[in-house]
Chains A and B, each alone.
Chain A
Amino acid sequence: MSITMPNTGVPAAEALDIRPTLTKRALRFCRREPLGTFGLALVIIMAITGFTAELIAPYNPTANDFASMTEAPSWSHLLGTDQFGRDLLSRIIYGARTALIVGMSSAFVGGAAGLVLGVGSAYFGGKLDLILQRVFDVVMAFPLIIMALAVVSIFGTGVHNVIIAITIPLIPRCARVVRASALTVREVPYVDAARALGFGHARIILRHMVPNVMAPFLIMVTAFVGQAVLAEASLSYLGLGVQEPVPAWGLMLQGGAEEYASTAPWIAIFPGVAIMLSVLGINLFGDALRDALDPKLRDR
C-alpha cells in the first residue's frame, strides 16, 4: 500500500516531488527488467567470486599436481583439471578477479577520459574540437589488437599494461558519443544562463553539462566493461595479455586447451563458458540499464 495525497489519489512521492529511495528504485528496476536483473545477478556472482577467491576456491589455482593431470570433472575436481593438474574451477574463480580488474578499470578510466574530452570538445568547440576529432579518428582507425600489440611490445606484458592497451582505444569511442549528446546540451538555455551568471568553465562543464550526458555515458561504460573483458581474453589468448601464472580465462584457452581439446575438452570449454556468461551478464544488465535510464530507447 503506498501513501497517496488526500483527495487526489496521486502518490505522495510524485505529488511532493520526493524521489523514491534507492532501494525502491532498485526494486522497481528488478520488477520491470527481469532479464536485466538476471544479468545483474551474473555480474554480482562474478564480483563476489572474484573478490572472495581465496575463501571459496577449493584448490590453489597455480599449484601443479602431476598426479591428477587432465582429469575429467569429478567430485574432487568439479570442473576437472588441466594438463598440469591444476584445478579448473579454482582457476576460473581466480580468473574472475583478473577479468573484473581489467574490465572495470579499463572501462572506467577510458570512460572518464572520454567523458572529459567529449564534453570539453563540445563545450569549447572551434579549433580544439576540430583537432580532437582528428585525433579520435586516428586512434579509432587503429585496430585494437594492433594497438595492444604495440603497447605490450613497448611496456611488456602484464595486467597493468593490458589495462593501458584496452583503455586507449575506448577513449575516443566514448568521447564521440558523449560529444554528440553534449552538443545538444550546450544549446539548452540553462547553460547560457549559467554562462550569463558568470560561472567558470569548470563549473558549467561539471555541474551543468556532465550530469545531462550521464545516461548515454553510463550505458556506454557498461558496454565497455563487457568489451574490455572480451578484449582481455583475446589478448591473453594471443599471449599478449596477462601472463602465467596469473589465472586468466583467455590464458587458460591458450596452448593446452587446443592441444588437449579432443582428449580433455573440459579444459577448452569451461573458461569459454565463464567468459561468455560474464559478458552476457554485463550486456543484459547494460541493455536493461539503457531502457531504465532512457525510456525513449525502450523496445529497441
Chain B
Amino acid sequence: MYQYIIKRVLLTIPTLIGAAALVFLLMRLIPGDICVIRLGSGGGSFDPKAVAACHAELGVDRSYLIQFADFVWGFFRLDFGTSMWSGKPVATEIWARLPVSLEIAVLGTVVAIAIAIPLGTISALKQNTWIDYVVRVFAIGGIATPSFWLGIVSVLVVLDVTNAVFGTPWMPPIDYVPFWKDPIRNLSMAILPAITVGYRYAAVSMRMTRSAMLEVMREDYIRTARAKGLVNKIIINRHALKNALLPVVTLIGIEFAFLIGGLVVTEQVFNLNGVGRLFVQAVQNQDYTLTQALVMLTVTVFVITNLLVDLLYGWLDPRIRFS
C-alpha cells in the first residue's frame, strides 16, 4: 500500500511539470504584448524604449528557458510572483476572488450529492417503474441543458415571480458577502449559481449511482444477505450502497475538479467576480504570471483530487488495498 501511495504521488510531478510547460508555451504563442497593451491603452504610438523598460521590469526580456525555470521554481516554493497587469501579488488577486467560486463549487457539489444519491438509488431499486423513468428523464435533461442557459432562465423566472408576488422585481445580489456576516445575503447570491452548476453535476452522478447500484444488486453477496434474512434497509444501506458508491465517489471527485472550468461560464451569467472571471481577464490581458498561476491552481486541484480519489478507493475497497 505504501509503495502504491508513493508511486501515485510521484506520478503527479510529471503531470504538473507538463501542465506548466503547456501553459507557458500557450501564453507565449498568443500574439500581442502585455507592455503594448499596458502602454497603448491611451491610443496612438508609444516609445520603444518605454516598451523595453517595461519588458525588463516584468522580466519577459529574459530567455524562455530562464523564465520557465523561474516559474516552475516559484511554483514549488508556492511563490507566484506579482500580476503583470495590476502589479499586486498574484496570491492576493486570487485570494480575493476565491471565496465566491469556492462557495459556489462546494454548494453545487452539495446540491448534486443531495439529489444524485437518493434519486439514483431509488431509480435503481424501482427499475423500470414510472419513478425510474421520471428520474432518468430528469437526469438526461440535466446533461442536455446548457448551464448558462439554465442560469439565464432561472434569473428570468426569479425576476418574474418576485415581480408578480411582491410588485417589485428582485435580482440576486452580485457582490460577495462572507457567510458569517450576512448569511441570507450570502446564500441568496450563491444559491442560483449553485443549482445551475449542480443540476448537470447531479445528472451525471445520478446516472452513475443508478448503474452502479443495479450492478451491485445482482451480486451474490446481496442474495446471501437476503437469504440469511437481513432487513431490506440494512441490505441496501450497508451491503449495496456502500459498494455502489465507489465509482460515484470517483465521478464526484473528478467532476469537482472540472467545475472550475464550468464556473467561467456560470460567473459570466450571474455577473459574479470569481476566479473564472479572473481567468478570462488574465488571458485577455496577456498577464503571464496570473494566468500561469491560475492554470497551475486548477491543474493542482485536479491532480490532487484524482490522487485522493485513487487513495480513497484503496481505502474503501479492500480488494485494491491488498492486491
What residues of chain A have their CB less than 8 Å away from a CB belonging to chain B? Answer: 134-135, 137-146, 149-150, 153-154, 226, 230, 233-234, 237-238, 250, 253, 257-258, 261-262, 265, 268-269, 271-272, 275-277, 279-280, 283-284, 287, 299-300
Interface centre among A150, A238, A257, A261 (most CB of B within 10 A): A150
A291: min CB distance to chain B, Å: 12
Which B residues are CB-close (under 8 A) to A253? 148-149, 152
Query: In this assembly, does B241 line the interface, its C-beta being within 8 Å of a C-beta of chain A?
Result: no
Pairs A–B under 8 Å by Cβ, sample size 25: A134-B15, A134-B18, A138-B15, A138-B18, A138-B299, A141-B303, A142-B22, A143-B261, A145-B261, A146-B283, A153-B283, A153-B284, A261-B156, A272-B145, A272-B146, A276-B141, A276-B149, A277-B144, A279-B143, A279-B145, A279-B146, A280-B140, A280-B141, A283-B144, A300-B214
Instruction: Please classify the interface of chain A as helix (H, G, I), strand (E, B), loop, or mixed, using the class held by over half of its residues.
Output: helix
Tell me the B180-214 residues at the A interface (CB within 8 Å): 210-211, 214
Q: Write out, one digit per residue, whether chain B residues 16-33 have a CB within 8 A of any chain A CB (1) or not (0).
A: 001100110011011100
A243: min CB distance to chain B, Å: 16
Among residues of B, the one whose C-beta sits closest to the C-beta of A144 is B261
Query: In this assembly, does B256 line the interface, its C-beta being within 8 Å of a C-beta of chain A?
Result: no
List 4 A-B pairs, minimum CB-CB distance, nearest first. A143-B261, A272-B149, A138-B18, A300-B211
B310: min CB distance to chain A, Å: 13
A231: min CB distance to chain B, Å: 10
Q: How far is the CA of A72 from the CA of B298 in the complex (A)?
A: 43
Which B residues are CB-close (under 8 A) to A150? 23, 26-27, 29-30, 283
A37: min CB distance to chain B, Å: 15
Q: How far is the CA of A226 from the CA of B11 in the complex (A)?
A: 32
Query: In this assembly, does B169 line the interface, its C-beta being within 8 Å of a C-beta of chain A?
Result: yes
Q: Are B156 and A262 in contact (CB under 8 A)?
A: yes
A82: min CB distance to chain B, Å: 14
Q: Are B279 and A149 in contact (CB under 8 A)?
A: yes
Q: Which of B26, B169, B298 contacts A143, CB < 8 Å?
A: B298
Which A residues are CB-close (under 8 A) to B149? 233, 253, 268, 271-272, 275-276
Q: How far is the CA of A238 from the CA of B148 in the complex (A)?
A: 10
Among residues of B, the one whose C-beta sits closest to the C-beta of A269 is B153
Q: Are B295 and A262 in contact (CB under 8 A)?
A: no
Q: Are B145 and A276 in contact (CB under 8 A)?
A: yes
Q: Are A237 and B19 in contact (CB under 8 A)?
A: no
Which B residues are CB-close (under 8 A) to A135? 18
Interface centre among A137, A233, A253, A283 (most CB of B within 10 A): A137
Which A residues are CB-close (under 8 A) to B273? none
B259: min CB distance to chain A, Å: 9
Q: How far is the CA of A140 from the CA of B19 in the complex (A)?
A: 10
Tell me the B150-177 residues at the A interface (CB within 8 Å): 150, 152-153, 155-156, 159-160, 163, 169
